[in-house]
Structure 1
C-alpha cells in the first residue's frame, strides 16, 4: 500500500490541477499550437503570436510552440515573423483550442536590378542613416528597460543543458562507451553542436521575480529546481551550477556590456557602440505591427570582444528592440568558442513598452575550432505574466536577492509537466533518469575515480580518500627529500564528522611531521557545501617558510620545491587550533578562533637577542596564545568548491574582509600581549573594450611589543610561478612591519592592443600589466636596535630581514597572456630597495590559467 501512495498522490494532484485549470479557463480563450516553416517543415522559434488588433500574445519557444490566452472577446489570432507573410486565423471565443500554422516566405519581387562595379565606398558614421537610427535607440534605452518602472514582476522558466558535441561514429562506438549507448542522441544537423550529442548536464528552474525601483530591490524566489546530480565524491553540484550560471548569464542588450563566459562583450546598443561597430539598414518591414527596421551590425575589429548579427527596431516612437540575433565572429579573441548564437525576443506591455519574453543562448566549445568533438551548452529563459506598477507588500522585497523554496528540489514529474511553458523533447526529458542510471555502472565509477585522482589528486576508497597526490614527494634545503602520505574522510562515513590527517618525514633533518584534524558540521551538511557552519579542532607539527603565502596551492606541493636564491630560513611549528565558522546565505560570514602556536628556528634561521655584555644569546621556543575573529562579506559571490579549495568565479562585486587577533600573555603558556587588526577590499572593474582590472587593497596595524616572527612578514615569492597577491621579486622574510598598507593592481587588456597588430592578432595574445606597492614600517618599540631584549632581525645569504623605510616597496610587470590559450608569462621589474644583498632587479615568471 505504501508503494501506491505516490500514484494516489499524482492522481489527486492531476485531478486538482485539472479542476483548477477548468475553473480558470471557464471564461477564457486559450489558443496553443506549433508554428512551422511551410517550405522546410521545421519548427520556428521566436515567432510573435497575438490576438488580432491587440497587444496580448506571446512568442513561440525553441520548439516552435506557443500558448496564449485572454478573457477578451477576440475572434482572430495574428502570426508575424521577419521575412514571412503575416497570417491570421479565426478562433472560437471562450474555448480552448489548438491551431498549428505553417508560415510562407515573403519573397517580394524586385522591379529593377542594377549592378555596378567600382571602388567600394568607405564606411563612415557621418550622414549614415543606420548610425542615426542606432543613436535614437541609445537615446531611448532608459525608457525601454525594466528600471523604468516603479514596480515589476514576472514568472520565469529557465533551462540549462550541456553535452559532448560533434561526436563521430568512431567515438560513439569506442569500447569505453559500450555500456553507455543509451545516452547518445542525434542533434539537428543545422543547429550549433550538430551531429551526435552525449548529454552531460541539465537544470531547470521556475521562479517568481520582483522588482522595486525605490528603495531598490530585485528578488528572485525559486519555487522549483530540478538538476542532474552527480556523486558528491566527484563533483560539487552546487558549484557546477554557479559556474554554469556565471558563464551563461542573463543577456540584457540594453546594458553597455553583456557578461558572457566570464568576459564582457560590448552591446551593439552601448552608449559608444558606433565607435566599435559598423551598422547597416538591411530591411524595412512595413507589414509588421509595429513597423520594424532590420539593422545589421558587424565589429570594426573582428578580434575584439564584440558581437555581430541583427537587431529589429520598432518604428512606433519607442525605438525599442523587438528581436535580436547576436553571434560572434570566428576571429574573436575568445578561447575555445567555436560558435555562439543568442536570440532575444521582446513582447509589448499594456503601456506600449517592451519587455524581454525569451532568450536562447547557445555556445559550442572545442579545443580545435574547426573539427573534432566539443561541448555544447544552451540556456533558455522564458518570461511570462509580466505585470508593471502593481506594488507588493514590503516583505516581498526584503531579504536576500535570491531565495530558494524549502521544497524546490522536491517537485515531482507531474508538477513539472504542468508547470513548464513548453514540453521537453524525449532526449531532454530522459537525461535525469539516464545520468542516474549511468552512475550505477561500475565502469563509469571507475572512470570518475581515475579522473578525480588525476585532476583533484585524491583516490577514493569509499569512507576515506587518500591524497593529495602532488604532496607525496617534495624536497627543500631543511628537510631534504620529504615524503608525505595522508588523506581524509568522505561524506559516506558521516555528513557531520570529518577527519583529516597526514604524516611526513624528511631524510635530511630526520624529523617526523604530522597533522590531525576533526571537524563537526553544525548544519548537517558537508563542510564543503555552502553555507558552512562548523567547528574544527586541529594540531600540526610541521615546517614552514616565513612570509610564503600559498593561494590555491597545497603545502608540500612538488612544484614548490623549485625556488630561486637562498631559502634555508625555516620554522618548525607546533600549532593547535580551535575554529568556528558560520556563513549566511547572503555571503556574510564570521569566524572565531583560538590558536596556540610554538615556533622554533630551523635551517639557517636563528632566534637571538643581545646580552648586556654585547654577546648573542640563542633563544628557544616562541610561545604564543591568540584569540581571533574575522568578518567577511562577499555579495553575490559565486565559486566552485573543489576537493581542496573554493575557487572564486571573478565578478564585478567587491569582497570585504576584516580580521582581529588578540595575543594573551599567560593564557595556555602564551608570552606576549598584542592586538593585530587587518582589513582587505578586493574588486574587479570592467572597463568596456579596455578589458578589466583586479584591484586589492590591504592595511594592518599591530599594537604591542613583539619579536619579529610575530610582526607582519610580507608575502614574498621565491618560486618561478607568478603569484597575483605576493611580491614576486621579494625574498622570503625580507620585510617585516607592525603597520602597513598595500595595493595590487592587475589589468588585462583582453587583446585590445595586440588585436590591432596584423602579425599578433592571429595569435590571439593578450597584454597585461601588473603593479604592486607596499608601504609600512616598524615602530621604535618593535625595533631590536632600540631594545636588546627583542630578537634580532635575521641575516643571511639573501641579506636578511629589514623594516620598510619612507620609500615603499614597488614592483611591476608586463605580461603576455593567452599563450597556447593557457599560459601567461610576466616580465617583472623591482623598482626599490635594489641595494639589498640578493635582491633581484628583473625576473621572468609563468602562470597557468584557463580562460575563455
Structure 2
C-alpha cells in the first residue's frame, strides 16, 4: 500500500471514528421548564448549564429552556439566586425533557443574617452593589427610549384571563356535558401545576410613532380582536380595566403601576433606601457580558419588588433583562403572586429597547393556591427603528387612531402579522366562546347573572330594572314599590327611552318618570364619545341637598338612615340637555330646566313678614345651564347603569354656569350661579395614593332657602366620598363656599412596620374635608320674601 493510500485510509478511519461521536453529541438535547417549588410559578432567566462547562442558556419569561450539547455531558446544573442549586442527570445522545422545581433558600439566608455579628449587617456604604445601582440610576435618562429623537415600532399586546384548576370531572357531570367542548380546552404548559381554562382573550396590533421634539406619540391600531362574552357585558370596558390592573411596566420610571398600586422601581432614585442589592453573578446574554444584580425589600411588607436585573458592562449601565416578583407578605386583595419579566434588545445605535414584557398574576380568594384565576399580559415589540425622521403628517391628529377594518381582520391576517404565538388552548377560545353564545342555557345563565349584578333583565328591545329600586321605604312615602326599564340597541342605536312608575303606600301618591334620547352618532349614548340630546320629566320625592340626577335611584339599601329623616321635597322636574364629547376628552353640556318644589313631612316653606308666618305651597325655578369639562386621557369601564372612570394621573376640570330666568315657564327668580371643581388622583410612591378635590361656588341674586346651595350630607350607613358624612340633611346652606377634600391611602406603609398590625395586614386611610361658606345679606332667607 502506498503512502498516499495509507494517509487516505487513516483519514477515512478517523472520520469514521469521529463521525459517530459527533453525531452522538449533536443528538443530545434537553428541553424543560423551571418553576418555584412553592408557588408553582415559572422562573425566568434561571442559569442552565452543563456541569463543568461553559455551555449554557437561561430560561425565558415562562421558565422554558432548550439546551444542546456538543459533548457527552452527563449532568446539567440549574442555579438561581435565592434558590438551592439543582443537578440533574443527562442521558448523552438523547432528546429529553427535564422539568425542575427549585426550592427557595431565602428563609435559610435570613436565619444566617439574624444570627450573624452586627459588623456583618447589610449597609449601603462601601457596597459595590449599591455603587452599581447608583450608576444605573445616573444613566437612566440616556437609556430611556424617550431619549431618542424619533422612534417607530410595531407592538403586539395580548391579554388573557383563565380559570385555574377546575375539576376535570366537571365536564362529565350531567349539567355540564353540553359545555364539554369548552371545559376541556385546558392549558397545562403556561403555569406548571395548574390547569388553565382560558375564558377571555384580547389581542391588539399597533404601529407606534414617537417624536421627542415637539413631543408626540401616535398609536395607530392596525388590528384588534377580543372575546365577546355576551351582549350584556361591555367587552371593551373589561379590556380597559384589565389592562389598567396589568399596566405597562416601565422599569426606568421611578414608580411602576400594577394591580392598582404603585411599586417603587428597583432603579428609582430612592431605591437604595428601600432595597438591598447584591451582585450575584456575571453571565453572557446574547454574546455580551452582563452583571446579575439581585435585590430584595428591606421591609418585606412594603409595596416593593424582589428579583434580578441584568446590567450591561459597556459603560451605559443599561438594563438588558429583568425578572421581578412581589413578596408574598404584601397585602394586595385577591392576589397570591405576581411575576414580571422584561427583555431588552440592542438598537443599531447601541442603546437597548424593550422587546418583550410578560406579566403573570395569580388571583384567588385564599393563599392555598387552589382554584382562582390566572391573568397574563404579554407585549411583544418588533421592527424597532430609532432616530429616523418622518414627515410631520405622521404625528398629526389624535394620539390614538383605529385603522379602518381593524376589528374585521381575517385569521390569515393575524397568522401573518401576529408578533407572538397563541397556545393551542388560546387559539380555540374564540370559536368556543362563539359556540357558547348559541346554547340557550348559557344565554339564560348570563341573563340571570346580569340581572343580579347589573340589575337589568333583557327582553330583546326592552330591559326591566334596575332591580335594587323595586322596593324601598322612607318616613314620607312608607313602603314604595317601583317598576321601570329602558330600551336597548336592539330597538334602535339612535333612539332611547326610559321610564318608571312608583307608588307610596303612606302618602298614597303616584310617582313617575319618562325620558327620550336621540344619539347623533352610531354609538350607544353610554359610550365615549357621547353626542346626544335628551328630554325628560320626573315627578318624585327627594331629600334636600341630594343632587338632582338623571334618574333619582330609590336604592333599597339606602332606605336605612340614622337620625331624624322626615324633611322631603316633592318635585316636578322638566329637563332638556345636549351633551357633546370630543376625542380630546373635552366636553360641554347645554341644558334647560324647570323645577317646582313642594315641601313634605316636617319641612315647610315659611316667610316671616311683619311678625306673621306665611306658608307657601311651592317654589318654581327656571334655569339655562352651560357646563364645560376637561378630563385628559380619561378611560371608562362601562356598566349597565353608569360608566366608571378609571383613575389616572391627569386632573379633571369642570366649570358650570347657571342663569335663573324669572317669568319663564313660571320661574320666580332671576339669579346666576357659578361653580368650579378640580379633581386630581395623586400617586405618592411608597406612601400610597391620594384623591384631592377643590370646589367652589357662588350665587348672585336674591333667593329663598330651598334654592341656595344645600350642602351634601349623609345619614345612611354607607360612606359617601362626596358628602360630609357626619353632617345631617339640611344642616348647612350657603350662597358662596369653598371646599377642600383630601383622602390618603397609605397601603399599610406605617402599620406594616409594627409587628402586631403587620400580622393583621391592616391598612391606613386618612381623610380630611373642609367646607367654608355662608349666606350674604342679599340672599339671607329671613330677608327674602317668597312669592305668593
**Is the structural similarity TM-score above 0.5?**
yes
How is 1:2-401 mapped onto 2 (pairs within 5 angstroms)?
38-41=29-32, 119=116, 121-185=120-184, 189=188, 191-192=190-191, 194-232=193-231, 234-285=232-283, 289-401=287-399
| DSSP-derived class of the 2:158 partner | strand
| DSSP-derived class of the 1:346 partner | strand
Deviation at 1:45, TM superposition (A): 11
Deviation at 1:186, TM superposition (A): 6.4
Alignment CA distance shift 1:63-1:433 (3 Å): farther
Distance 2:364 2:693 in 1: 33
Distance 2:746 2:182 in 1: 42
Distance 1:404 1:746 in 2: 37
TM-score w.r.t. length of structure 2: 0.85
Match status 1:482 vs 2:480: yes
Alignment CA distance shift 1:340-1:778 (3 Å): same
Of 622, 627, 630, the match for 1:630: 627
Indicate the RMSD between aligned Cα atoms, in angstroms: 2.8
Alignment CA distance shift 1:199-1:575 (3 Å): same
Cα deviation digits, residues 106-157 of structure 1 (max 9, x gap): xxxxxxxxxx997363222222111111111111111110121222111111
Deviation at 1:104, TM superposition (A): 12
Deviation at 1:196, TM superposition (A): 2.5
Of 663, 688, 693, the match for 2:690: 693
Cα deviation digits, residues 621-645 of structure 1 (max 9, x gap): 2111111121111111122111111
Alignment CA distance shift 1:174-1:725 (3 Å): farther
| DSSP-derived class of the 2:778 partner | helix
Of 510, 528, 531, the match for 2:529: 531
| DSSP-derived class of the 1:254 partner | coil
| DSSP-derived class of the 2:288 partner | coil
Contact 1:782/1:790 (8 A) holds in 2: no
Distance 2:412 2:631 in 1: 38
Corresponding residue of 2:727: 730
Cα deviation digits, residues 523-546 of structure 1 (max 9, x gap): 122112221111111110000001
Q: Which runs of 5+ in 1 are unaligned?
A: 1-35, 49-58, 67-81, 85-100, 106-115, 792-852
Alignment CA distance shift 1:687-1:423 (3 Å): closer
> Which of 389-398 and 442-451 deviates more?
389-398
Match status 1:556 vs 2:554: yes
Deviation at 1:187, TM superposition (A): 5.6
Match status 1:618 vs 2:615: yes
| DSSP-derived class of the 1:358 partner | strand
Distance 2:742 2:548 in 1: 19
Distance 2:392 2:704 in 1: 55
Alignment CA distance shift 1:288-1:386 (3 Å): closer
Deviation at 1:371, TM superposition (A): 3.3
Deviation at 1:620, TM superposition (A): 2.1
Deviation at 1:37, TM superposition (A): 11
Match status 1:746 vs 2:737: no
Corresponding residue of 2:672: 675
Contact 2:162/2:373 (8 A) holds in 1: yes
Distance 2:192 2:463 in 1: 37
Distance 1:525 1:270 in 2: 43
Q: Which runs of 5+ in 2 are unaligned?
A: 1-26, 35-41, 47-58, 67-76, 80-94, 100-111
| DSSP-derived class of the 2:31 partner | coil
Alignment CA distance shift 1:37-1:274 (3 Å): farther
Contact 1:185/1:196 (8 A) holds in 2: no
Contact 1:471/1:554 (8 A) holds in 2: no
Deviation at 1:751, TM superposition (A): 0.6
Distance 2:680 2:28 in 1: 49
Distance 1:626 1:656 in 2: 22
Contact 1:193/1:376 (8 A) holds in 2: no
Contact 1:61/1:422 (8 A) holds in 2: no
Deviation at 1:60, TM superposition (A): 7.9
How is 1:430-509 mapped onto 2 (pairs within 5 angstroms)?
430-509=428-507
Contact 1:630/1:657 (8 A) holds in 2: yes
Alignment CA distance shift 1:732-1:502 (3 Å): same
Distance 1:735 1:212 in 2: 53
Deviation at 1:647, TM superposition (A): 1.5
Distance 1:37 1:250 in 2: 39
Aligned length: 703
Contact 1:184/1:199 (8 A) holds in 2: no
Cα deviation digits, residues 66-85 of structure 1 (max 9, x gap): 9xxxxxxxxxxxxxxx989x
Contact 1:155/1:384 (8 A) holds in 2: yes
Alignment CA distance shift 1:282-1:172 (3 Å): farther
Deviation at 1:173, TM superposition (A): 4.1
Alignment CA distance shift 1:573-1:591 (3 Å): same
Distance 1:185 1:142 in 2: 49
Distance 2:549 2:60 in 1: 48
Alignment CA distance shift 1:347-1:452 (3 Å): same
| DSSP-derived class of the 2:760 partner | coil
Alignment CA distance shift 1:690-1:299 (3 Å): same
Contact 1:192/1:363 (8 A) holds in 2: no
Of 634, 642, 658, the match for 2:639: 642
